[in-house]
């Protein structure tokens, strides 16, 4: 199969790239499940943009840099934040129906770490609204979108990326897809952890593929844990997120005995940055030996139902009426700040290979992401990558290299699903227990040794058995877990999301820099 622009992943980053490049060549998107099954589809709070008359680009930049704890690339932040207002306009043109206030202007929500109300949203289902609008545009542009196709590995020739190996799951066939430009937009890696807000697709596939191919990876230790997810019951494999915007509207955190506690940790209380709130909850649970804290919205009454209708209904479906009793909440893995290192146009160190969205490390988040900056980053840098690729494509000759091959052993035996599930559960448990919100060197070393051993065993399983969807994901999960753990060990300080009991201070002399790792180093 051949194409001009190959997009791996159909979340906001991949779709933005596809829509932007459609007029300049044949665009093919492959996505490993149904077209809308992506983190994007579950995004609640919204997308940050300084559009209020009291707000300014400089305030948004300042909040982003403060949250990033000294590690943001200021140039990248400035680009993202400056482009935000026009991105909101463009999304409206693409059909996104954002919620309006009574005065007819866009309603602006509030989230942790922001000094102003600046979260543009569609009630509490912003991601689904954006995903559907972009998908609609993708189909009206005549873009080919292949569902249930999972990318396995990048194809390289003479150091350049020329395509990808992919499994067409429905037909159980492996194909090479050759392309002039390849975009990785495979999202994050929440599923590497036992408890996560992410759907099961988030297994770090693109980052692992990139790593195996020699792409430079950065800042994998900065895993963001969302402070508030429903305790004890899941929706499928996902923890139900209780949007930070709920605290922006007055939701209060309390211990299970009903006492407030955030005032002990930060003057901004419930609206401190996410790392601070998640850690505060972690310590409260540990100190009081309880399993959850409470998010109290009972005083918000109908305002809660109007602002958060989907969350309200999800709580009801889990057997709790948030207007009658506080919601039991715990933190869960939510977002990966690190990824494949890119320049300001989504380019990687491998020619013709671009990355955008949660798989990328553009530098805008540094050591901690400001709430609602992720949809923004994905679309800003998705569009920028497309613009750069459009400029490059005229110079690129399509390679159709018959000399490349993959371990194509679909006729070998299928790996037992129980074995795969056992490895997955073990890795997720280890990551949760030992590479979580609060870390220590002994646990990190222990995790490194166990996960390294699992990697050897899983790579052997992969070699021996037929390539399958589950095996491809397992191979990526173990690799991503290892990258997170290795980066966490390399950073011997506490900064932003990386909090290590043995190194509680921030060390600006030795560690005011990205943690960079590659297969070649
Ligand atoms: P995704 O949207 O995750 O898309 C990845 C795509 O790649 C999917 O289509 C997936 O199936 C596909 N894929 C993965 N691996 C492969 C493979 N091997 N082969 C083929 N296809 C593959 N951010 C905000 O800014 N504001 C919010 O309000 C917000 N709320 C959130 C709420 C929840 C519950 C979650 C989970 C996240 C939230 N985030 C929010 C974060 C934000 O949604 C994501 O960071 C963003 O959507 C990432 O977009 P993406 O395009 O990079 O990846
Ligand atoms: C939320 O709604 O709390 C999620 C926002 C984000 O992850 O940016």
pLDDT for the residue numbered 162: 96
CA distance 343 to 345: 5
Half-sphere exposure of 452 (CA within 13 A, CB side): 8
Atom of ligand 2 nearest to the CA of 371: 8
140 pLDDT above the threshold of 90: no
409 pLDDT above the threshold of 70: no
pLDDT for the residue numbered 383: 98
What is the residue-averaged pLDDT of the chain?
96
Boundary-marking domain end, from 308, 334, 360: 334
Q: Residue 466: how many CB atoms within 10 A of its CB?
A: 17
Say yes or no: 330 and 421 in one domain: no
pLDDT for the residue numbered 1: 93
Task: Kindly state if the Cβ of 43 falls inside 6 Å of ligand 1.
Answer: yes
Identify the residue whose C-alpha is closest to ligand 1 atom 6: 9
> Could you read off the pLDDT of 439-497 as tens digits, one per residue?
999 999 999 999 999 999 999 999 999 999 999 999 999 999 999 999 999 999 999 99
pLDDT for the residue numbered 3: 97
Task: Kindly state if the Cβ of 378 falls inside 6 Å of ligand 2.
Answer: no
- Angle between the N-to-C axes of helices 417-434 and 441-464, in degrees from 0 to 180, rounded to the nearest 10: 160
| Residue environment code for 495-513, b if the CB has 16+ CB neighbours within 10 A, otherwise e | bbbbbbeebeeeeeeebee
pLDDT for the residue numbered 472: 97
Q: Residue 400: how many CB atoms within 10 A of its CB?
A: 11
248 assigned to some structural domain: yes
272 assigned to some structural domain: yes
pLDDT for the residue numbered 399: 87
Span from the CA of 107 to the centroid of ligand 2 (angstroms): 16
pLDDT for the residue numbered 397: 87
Span from the CA of 262 to the centroid of ligand 2 (angstroms): 19
316 assigned to some structural domain: yes
Half-sphere exposure of 388 (CA within 13 A, CB side): 22
| Position with higher pLDDT, 140 vs 517 | 517
Q: Residue 162: name the closest of 32, 3, 19 by CA.
A: 3
Atom of ligand 1 nearest to the CA of 15: 51
pLDDT for the residue numbered 402: 61
Element (H, E) at 486: helix 469-490
Strands laid side by side in the 108-109 sheet? 47-48, 119-120, 108-109
> Could you read off the pLDDT of 62-94 as tens digits, one per residue?
999 999 999 999 999 999 999 999 999 999 999
Candidate from 14, 36, 37, 43 with most ligand 1 atoms within 8 A of CB, to mutate: 43
Counting beta carbons within 10 angstroms of the beta carbon of residue 231, is it exposed (0 to 12), middle (13 to 18) or buried (19 or more)?
A: buried
CA distance 126 to 374: 12
502 assigned to some structural domain: yes
| Position with higher pLDDT, 401 vs 380 | 380
Report the phi/psi class of residue 517: left, alpha or beta, with left for phi > 0 and alpha for psi in -120 to 50: beta
373 pLDDT above the threshold of 70: yes
Task: Kindly state if the Cβ of 176 falls inside 6 Å of ligand 2.
Answer: no
> Could you read off the pLDDT of 411-421 as tens digits, one per residue?
689 999 999 99
257 assigned to some structural domain: yes
Task: Kindly state if the Cβ of 30 falls inside 6 Å of ligand 1.
Answer: yes
Atom of ligand 1 nearest to the CA of 126: 28
Stretch 120-131: mean pLDDT, rounded?
Answer: 98
Domain harbouring 482, CATH code: 1.20.58.100
Stretch 39-62: mean pLDDT, rounded?
Answer: 98
Domain harbouring 308, CATH code: 3.90.700.10
Query: Which ligand sits nearest to residue 245's alpha carbon?
Result: 2
Say yes or no: 329 and 428 in one domain: no
192 assigned to some structural domain: no
29 pLDDT above the threshold of 70: yes
290 pLDDT above the threshold of 70: yes
Boundary-marking domain end, from 334, 366, 385: 334
239 assigned to some structural domain: yes
Q: 520 falls in which pLDDT band (50, 70, 90)?
A: confident
pLDDT for the residue numbered 111: 97
pLDDT for the residue numbered 237: 87
Q: What are phi and psi of 485, to 5 degrees?
A: -65, -45
Q: 118 falls in which pLDDT band (50, 70, 90)?
A: very high
CA 471 to chain centre: 21
> Could you read off the pLDDT of 153-178 as tens digits, one per residue?
999 999 999 999 999 999 999 999 99
pLDDT for the residue numbered 411: 67
Query: Which ligand sits nearest to residue 295's alpha carbon?
Result: 2
- What is the count of structural domains for the chain? 2
Task: Kindly state if the Cβ of 44 falls inside 6 Å of ligand 2.
Answer: yes
Boundary-marking domain end, from 289, 316, 334: 334
HEC letters along 67-94:
HCCCCCCHHHHHHHHHHHHHHHHHHHHC
Task: Kindly state if the Cβ of 81 falls inside 6 Å of ligand 2.
Answer: no
DSSP structure class, residue 313: H
CA distance 78 to 218: 20
Concatenated DSSP letters of 174-241 = EEEEEEEEEEE-----GGGSSSBSS-TT-S-HHHHHHHHHT--EE-TT-EEEEEEEEEEEEETTEEEE
Distances in whole angstroms, Cα of residue 230 to Cα of each of 77, 111, 195, 313, 316: 32, 18, 11, 13, 12
Which token pair is 1? 């199969």
Half-sphere exposure of 338 (CA within 13 A, CB side): 32
> What range defines the domain where residue 295 resides?
226-334
> Could you read off the pLDDT of 331-353 as tens digits, one per residue?
999 999 999 999 999 999 999 99
Strands laid side by side in the 238-241 sheet? 238-241, 223-235, 327-336, 293-296, 252-254
138 assigned to some structural domain: no
């Amino acid at each position: 199969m051949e194409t001009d622009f190959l997009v791996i992943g159909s979340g906001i980053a991949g779709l933005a790239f596809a829509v932007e490049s459609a007029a300049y060549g044949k665009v093919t998107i492959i996505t490993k499940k149904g077209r809308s099954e992506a983190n994007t589809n579950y995004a609640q709070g919204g997308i940050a943009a300084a559009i209020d008359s009291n707000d300014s680009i400089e305030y948004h930049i300042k909040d982003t840099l403060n949250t990033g704890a000294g590690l943001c690339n200021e140039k990248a932040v400035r680009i993202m934040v400056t482009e935000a207002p026009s991105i909101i306009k463009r999304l409206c043109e693409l059909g996104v129906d954002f919620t309006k206030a009574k005065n007819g202007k866009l309603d602006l929500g509030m989230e942790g770490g922001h000094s102003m109300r600046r979260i543009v949203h569609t009630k509490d289902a912003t991601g689904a609204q954006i995903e559907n609008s972009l998908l609609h545009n993708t189909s009206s542009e005549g873009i080919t979108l292949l569902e249930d196709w999972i990318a396995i590995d990048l194809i390289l020739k003479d150091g350049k990326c020329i395509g990808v190996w992919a499994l067409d799951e429905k037909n159980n066939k492996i194909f090479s897809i050759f392309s002039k430009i390849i975009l990785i937009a495979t999202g994050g890696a929440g599923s590497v952890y036992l408890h996560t807000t992410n759907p099961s697709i988030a297994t770090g596939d693109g980052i692992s593929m990139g790593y195996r191919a020699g792409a430079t990876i950065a800042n994998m230790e900065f895993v963001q844990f969302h402070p508030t997810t429903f305790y004890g019951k899941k929706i499928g494999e996902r923890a139900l997120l209780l949007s930070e915007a709920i605290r922006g509207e007055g939701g209060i955190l309390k211990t299970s005995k009903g006492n407030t506690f955030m005032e002990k940790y930060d003057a901004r209380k419930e609206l401190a940055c996410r790392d601070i709130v998640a850690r505060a909850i972690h310590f409260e649970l540990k100190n009081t030996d309880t399993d959850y804290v409470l998010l109290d919205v009972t005083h918000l009454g109908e305002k809660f139902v109007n602002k958060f209708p989907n969350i309200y209904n999800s709580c009801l479906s889990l057997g709790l009426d948030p207007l009658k009793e506080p919601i039991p909440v715990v933190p869960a893995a939510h977002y990966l700040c690190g990824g494949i290192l890119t320049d300001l146009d989504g380019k990687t160190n491998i020619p013709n290979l671009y990355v955008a969205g949660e798989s990328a490390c553009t530098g805008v988040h540094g050591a901690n992401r400001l709430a609602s900056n992720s949809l923004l980053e994905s679309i800003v840098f998705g569009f920028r990558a497309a613009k750069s690729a459009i400029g490059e494509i005229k110079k690129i000759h399509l390679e159709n290299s018959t000399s490349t091959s993959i371990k194509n052993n679909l006729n070998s035996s299928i790996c037992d699903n129980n074995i795969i599930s056992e490895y997955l559960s073990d890795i997720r448990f280890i990551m949760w227990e030992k590479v979580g919100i609060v870390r220590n060197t002994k646990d990190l070393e222990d995790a490194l040794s166990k996960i390294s051993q699992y990697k050897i065993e899983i790579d052997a399983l992969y070699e021996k058995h037929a390539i399958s969807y589950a095996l491809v994901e397992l191979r990526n999960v173990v690799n991503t877990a290892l990258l997170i753990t290795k980066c966490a060990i390399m950073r011997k300080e506490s900064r932003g999301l990386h909090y290590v009991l043995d190194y509680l201070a921030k060390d600006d002399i030795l560690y005011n820099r990205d943690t960079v790792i590659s297969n070649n180093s």
